[in-house]
């Protein structure tokens, strides 16, 4: 959205943006979630004293477990924030494959996405979600608990988003997750890897850079930053400090920089000072840790032609002697890449989005998994298995609409082992045919361990996996002939990761010395250390022919490839290694005083009953402000009462607004029903209107004001569809709409004025195809986007007219990486009452040019990143990127017009965060427009101010 730079519009855009913010959680930062489940899902509910648990019928056992767990946890999660929250709905979402969770208001609910990651924590996934998300519930009620439905939930959400930065509420939740559970991300060296490496390798980054991130360097992320900063508050100032800070904020939430001033009141530190002292303390602790470890600096096999951070993941030697990796980074999207002995790279295939990065190689074939969207219901997604034959250069998607993860090829390349997760959260190791994707067998997992990352033995007789329970992680081996399984390494509080066979050994990643390293075990003997990486080693693969172990060695610019000759001499036993991990959450554990909390969860059998949509269509939660200036420079100001039900199937609003230009009251209402395949939108408005009619008398033309009121009703039916394959996303949709307008209280009625406009029809079809973008890309490298619409008046006798619109946008790569070239051709033909409509993009500077009937525009745009300053301008702005561009805009091409641009010029813009808000992201831009128009050639300067969520 674009706004003129006035204080009025700046204020409105910021406030309205934050009204849309929700609590961002776990693995994915997200804004308001409005997607649906398929209508075939049968919803049930359990009601306890503090929770309403909604769940799909097949999830009954886990739902009852979580109802008990939530009730058991709530007192402990709330204790250090002084009071329990109000009852809340928790929705267990089992249709998707992306691990996630969030809490939001408007409507008040929390959602747990029940499928875990393949590289998660060392405890039960749902238990971890419960602690983390419950802390967010307590935070919401602590700060805004008195602002409730049916009028103030959206206001509460806005206040929460404005007053608390994401690092604070997420860091506090990770701290509670770590201190109240036997696992938690604060206990994992893998989770602090970027932060620790940066602190030991580079000069200290600014508070803003660590918080907001960078397109130049790798930064920790606000979860990690927040965990350490909030933990330091509690370590230094006691367990009540978070409660004191939030209590003070709640008393005056609109105080500017409320968190920083509250932190300073109780500690004497600003948030910047807190950041600097936290990083300084961590630096000392991590340096002491590094000095106590005999680290080895392994030589990198890969070459880094650029300084841009990139990862060379899962190195494996192939038949030709080359190394294949999954390469991903800030400048490029994930791709399978071949590296020869000279370090030269050749891309094999770009791949799509993965819930967890992975691929495996065997017998000239590569296998990996990818996320697939449901075409209509975005709460449902799939994980499919893909295969690439390197000799044939042939790609194949083996499975469709599957829930299979972390595939591994058998040594002969004929079978694929993968982890299957059912809708009732049952985990199985399965084998599928590598030719047609058919499931061949499933291995018994009677205790329902969470299984991760399988791998075949060299003789294909066994498959090794990681198993997770509430007791930690273990390595489990499946015998393919008998179907039985054996625990090779017992359950322990180690993040065991990606085990592979190396002769008679099993090699895996763990953190016995406090840093991620590779270890080996021979079944029946002890664990031994293989690597002593400075920052972290992972992702081992073993080449039997050369007896060489390839692995990832992490450096400040990303994961490099390193190698190790497997020696016959014994390695250091893990039992002799001292754990040097910095247990930063240790004081928090003491403060909480809740040992073994999950060992005493009750097992009450709660009654369950159906959750019927018709009984829960409406949930009125907020009076929301209206500030609409879409049609004029005068605002329409008002209020609307909003309802959104908890399953996102019906959105409803009704409201009042005052038209400040016409000094008239207006009334509106509408709803969107989204349960079934088409989405139905209906809106009604009773509004005042004013136009000026030309009147000619005695050769003199005057403008006569024509005013009236009207009832306007519109209904639209739309079918939005989306699909993806590899690095490409496809979107297609169709919509049809009609309306009815009835006008009354008409003054100065013109002769041809119509009191009713009956059922004009509008049809629209769009088709989009775009490739995945890297963090640095300004646009898709390749994209084709086409939209066609037609509107007419087939049921009107007194009125006539139609408008046809054709709009396109095409993207191609620019000269250098991350540059983008865009060409857009747009055409419209408008007749009758639509002849003054302009529904296609206009040329730059159109408002300053003589106007004529617009038929088409042809817009050319070349955009490029200039530099990445990571510049902090006090607390006002943090600038991550400066961009440039060249453009040439053509109007009414053809019909004798010379093919020369009507306007052309240059533009300069900067991406930034303002006032230390993580969202929205802002863009400040300037555009120099040269008018190619005789006899005078003028220039125009336009300023733009945009935001995006």
Question: Is the Cβ–Cβ distance between 383 and 397 less than 8 Å?
Answer: no
pLDDT surpassing 90 at residue 700: no
Higher-confidence residue: 900 or 225? 225
> CA–CA separation, 454 vs 358, rounded Å?
11
Q: In what helix (H) or strand (E) does residue 576 lie, and over which residues does it extend?
A: none
Structure confidence by residue, pLDDT tens digits, 114-131: 999 999 889 999 999 999
> CA–CA separation, 826 vs 786, rounded Å?
10
Count CB-CB contacts under 10 A for residue 285: 15
Is the omega angle on the peptide bond into residue 817 within 30 degrees of 0, that is, cis?
A: no
Give pLDDT, residue 594.
Answer: 79
Specify the residue for token string 């003997």. 525
pLDDT surpassing 60 at residue 175: yes
> CA–CA separation, 878 vs 613, rounded Å?
45
Question: Is the Cβ–Cβ distance between 575 and 547 less than 8 Å?
Answer: no
Give pLDDT, residue 935.
Answer: 59
Reported residue count of the chain is 949
- pLDDT confidence tier of residue 65, bands split at 50, 70 and 90: very high
Give pLDDT, residue 11.
Answer: 40
- pLDDT confidence tier of residue 834, bands split at 50, 70 and 90: confident
Half-sphere exposure of 825 (CA within 13 A, CB side): 4
pLDDT surpassing 80 at residue 64: yes
> CA–CA separation, 37 vs 91, rounded Å?
12
Structure confidence by residue, pLDDT tens digits, 17-45: 443 333 333 333 334 678 999 999 999 99
Give pLDDT, residue 32.
Answer: 60
Q: In what helix (H) or strand (E) does residue 296 lie, and over which residues does it extend?
A: none
- pLDDT confidence tier of residue 570, bands split at 50, 70 and 90: low
Share of the chain above pLDDT 90, in %: 80
Structure confidence by residue, pLDDT tens digits, 302-348: 999 888 999 999 999 999 899 999 999 999 999 999 999 888 999 99
Is the omega angle on the peptide bond into residue 144 within 30 degrees of 0, that is, cis?
A: no
Please work out, in degrees rounded to the nearest 5, the angle formed at the alpha carbon of residue 83 by the alpha carbons of 81 and 84. Answer: 110
Query: What's CA 813's distance to the chain center, in Å?
Result: 25
Q: What is the DSSP string of 150-190?
A: TTBHHHHHHHHHHHS-HHHHHHHHHHHHHHHSS--GGG-TT
- pLDDT confidence tier of residue 751, bands split at 50, 70 and 90: confident
- Hey, what are 297's tokens? 């600096």
Question: Is the Cβ–Cβ distance between 678 and 376 less than 8 Å?
Answer: no
- DSSP symbol at 131: H
Specify the residue for token string 């509080």. 493
- DSSP symbol at 299: P
> CA–CA separation, 492 vs 603, rounded Å?
25
Structure confidence by residue, pLDDT tens digits, 758-815: 999 999 999 999 999 999 999 999 999 999 999 999 998 888 899 999 999 999 999 9
pLDDT surpassing 90 at residue 365: yes
Query: What's CA 940's distance to the chain center, in Å?
Result: 38
Structure confidence by residue, pLDDT tens digits, 640-657: 999 999 999 999 999 999
- pLDDT confidence tier of residue 862, bands split at 50, 70 and 90: very high
What is the torsion angle, in degrees rounded to the nearest 10, for the CA atoms of residue 744, residue 750, residue 756 and residue 761? Answer: -140
pLDDT surpassing 80 at residue 1: no
Count CB-CB contacts under 10 A for residue 256: 9
> CA–CA separation, 862 vs 860, rounded Å?
7
Q: Can you tell me whether residue 615 is helix, strand or coil?
A: helix
Question: Is the Cβ–Cβ distance between 455 and 361 less than 8 Å?
Answer: no
Give pLDDT, residue 110.
Answer: 97
42-46, 227-231, 629-633: segment of lowest average pLDDT = 629-633
**For 940-949, what is the mean pLDDT?**
86
β-partners of residue 911 are: 881, 923
Helices H / strands E in the chain, number of each: 12, 48
584-588, 796-800, 846-850, 893-897: segment of lowest average pLDDT = 893-897
Is the omega angle on the peptide bond into residue 150 within 30 degrees of 0, that is, cis?
A: yes
Give pLDDT, residue 920.
Answer: 87
- DSSP symbol at 434: T
Q: For residue 491, give Cα distances in angstroms to 181, 449, 476.
A: 16, 11, 10
- Hey, what are 2's tokens? 């674009």
Furthest CA-CA distance within the chain: 110
Question: Is the Cβ–Cβ distance between 207 and 279 less than 8 Å?
Answer: no
Share of the chain above pLDDT 70, in %: 95
Give pLDDT, residue 624.
Answer: 92
- 879-904: string of b/e by CB count within 10 Å (b at 16+)? bbbbbebebbbbbbbeeeeeeebbbb
What is the rounded average pLDDT for all residues in the chain?
91
Give pLDDT, residue 630.
Answer: 53
Q: What is the DSSP string of 910-944?
A: EEEEETT-SSSEEEEEEEEEEE--SS---EEEEEE
Question: Is the Cβ–Cβ distance between 595 and 181 less than 8 Å?
Answer: no
pLDDT surpassing 80 at residue 937: no
């Amino acid at each position: 959205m674009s706004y003129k730079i006035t204080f009025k519009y700046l204020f409105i855009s910021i406030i309205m943006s934050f009204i849309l913010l929700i609590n961002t959680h776990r693995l994915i930062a997200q804004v308001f979630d409005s997607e649906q489940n398929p209508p075939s899902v049968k919803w049930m509910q359990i009601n306890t004293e503090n929770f309403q648990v909604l769940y799909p019928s097949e999830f009954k056992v886990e739902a009852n477990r979580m109802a008990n767990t939530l009730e058991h946890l709530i007192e402990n999660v709330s204790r250090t924030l002084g009071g329990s929250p109000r009852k809340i709905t928790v929705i267990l979402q089992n249709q998707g494959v992306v691990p996630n969770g969030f809490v939001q208001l408007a409507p008040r609910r929390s959602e747990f996405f029940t499928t875990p990651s393949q590289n998660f924590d060392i405890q039960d996934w749902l238990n971890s979600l419960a602690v983390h998300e419950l802390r967010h519930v307590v935070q919401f009620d602590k700060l805004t608990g008195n602002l409730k439905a049916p009028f103030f939930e959206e206001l509460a959400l806005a206040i929460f988003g404005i007053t608390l930065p994401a690092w604070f509420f997420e860091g506090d939740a990770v701290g509670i997750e770590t201190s109240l559970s036997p696992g938690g991300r604060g206990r994992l060296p893998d989770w602090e890897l970027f932060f620790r490496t940066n602190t030991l390798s580079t000069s200290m980054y600014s508070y803003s850079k660590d918080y907001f991130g960078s397109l130049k360097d790798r930064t920790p992320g606000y979860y990690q930053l927040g965990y350490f900063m909030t933990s330091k508050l509690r370590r230094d100032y006691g367990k009540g400090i978070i409660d004191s800070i939030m209590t003070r904020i709640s008393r005056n939430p609109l105080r500017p920089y409320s968190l920083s001033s509250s932190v300073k009141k109780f500690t004497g530190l600003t948030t910047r000072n807190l950041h600097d002292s936290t990083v300084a303390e961590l630096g000392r602790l991590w340096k002491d840790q590094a000095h106590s470890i005999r680290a080895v600096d392994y030589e990198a096999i890969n070459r880094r032609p650029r300084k841009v951070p990139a990862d060379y993941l899962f190195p494996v030697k192939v038949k030709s002697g080359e190394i294949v990796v999954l390469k991903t980074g800030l400048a490029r999207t994930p791709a399978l890449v071949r590296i020869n002995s000279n370090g030269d790279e050749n891309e094999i295939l770009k791949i799509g989005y993965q819930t967890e990065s992975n691929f495996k190689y065997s017998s000239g074939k590569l296998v990996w998994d990818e996320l697939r969207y449901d075409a209509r219901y975005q709460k449902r997604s799939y994980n499919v298995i893909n295969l690439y034959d390197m000799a044939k250069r042939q790609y194949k998607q083996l499975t469709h609409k599957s829930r299979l993860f972390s595939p591994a090829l058998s040594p002969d390349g004929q079978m694929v082992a993968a982890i299957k997760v059912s809708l009732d959260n049952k985990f199985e190791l399965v084998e599928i045919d590598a030719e047609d994707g058919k499931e061949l067998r499933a291995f018994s997992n009677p205790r329902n361990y969470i299984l991760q990352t399988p791998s075949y033995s060299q003789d294909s007789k066994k498959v090794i996996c990681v198993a997770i329970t509430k007791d930690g992680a273990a390595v489990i081996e499946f015998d393919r002939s008998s179907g039985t399984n054996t625990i090779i390494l017992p359950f322990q509080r180690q993040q065991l990761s990606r085990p592979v066979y190396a002769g008679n050994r099993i090699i895996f990643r763990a953190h016995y010395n406090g840093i991620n390293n590779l270890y080996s075990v021979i079944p029946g003997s002890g664990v031994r250390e293989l690597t002593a990486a400075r920052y972290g080693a992972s992702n081992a693969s073993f080449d039997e022919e050369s007896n060489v172990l390839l692995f990832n060695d992490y450096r400040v610019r990303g994961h490099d490839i390193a190698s190790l000759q497997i020696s016959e001499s014994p390695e250091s036993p893990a039992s002799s290694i001292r754990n040097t991990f910095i247990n930063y959450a240790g004081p928090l554990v003491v403060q909480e005083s809740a040992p073994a909390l999950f060992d005493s969860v009750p097992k009450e059998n709660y009654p369950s009953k159906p959750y019927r949509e018709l009984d829960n269509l409406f949930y009125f939660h907020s009076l929301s402000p209206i500030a609409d200036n879409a049609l004029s420079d005068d605002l329409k100001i008002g209020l609307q009462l909003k309802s959104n039900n908890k399953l996102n199937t019906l959105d409803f609003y009704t409201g009042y607004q005052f038209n400040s230009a016409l000094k008239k009251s207006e009334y509106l209402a509408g709803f969107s029903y989204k349960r079934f395949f088409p989405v139905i939108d209906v809106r009604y408005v009773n509004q005042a209107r004013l136009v000026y009619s030309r009147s000619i008398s005695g050769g003199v033309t005057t403008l006569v004001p024509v005013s009236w009121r009207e009832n306007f009703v519109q209904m639209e039916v739309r079918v939005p569809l989306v699909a993806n394959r590899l690095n490409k996303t496809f979107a297609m949709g169709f919509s049809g709409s009609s309306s009815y307008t009835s006008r009354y209280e008409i003054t100065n009625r013109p002769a041809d004025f119509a009191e009713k406009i009956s059922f004009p029809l509008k049809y629209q079809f769009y088709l989009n195809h775009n490739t995945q973008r890297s963090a640095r890309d300004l646009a898709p490298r390749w994209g084709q986007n086409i939209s066609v619409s037609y509107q007419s008046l087939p049921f009107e006798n007194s009125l006539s007219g139609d408008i046809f619109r054709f709009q396109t946008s095409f993207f191609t790569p620019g000269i250098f990486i991350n540059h983008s070239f865009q060409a857009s051709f747009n055409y419209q033909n408008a007749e009758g009452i639509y002849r003054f409509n302009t529904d296609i993009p206009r040329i730059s500077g159109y408002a300053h040019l003589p106007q004529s009937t617009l038929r088409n525009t042809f817009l050319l745009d070349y955009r490029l990143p200039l530099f990445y300053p990571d510049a902090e301008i006090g607390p006002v702005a943090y600038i991550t990127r400066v961009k440039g561009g060249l453009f040439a805009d053509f109007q009414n091409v053809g019909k004798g017009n010379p093919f020369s641009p009507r306007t052309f010029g240059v533009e300069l813009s900067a991406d930034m965060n303002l006032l230390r808000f993580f969202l929205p992201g802002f863009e400040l831009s300037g555009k120099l427009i040269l008018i190619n128009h005789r006899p005078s050639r003028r220039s125009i300067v336009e300023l733009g101010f945009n935001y995006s969520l």
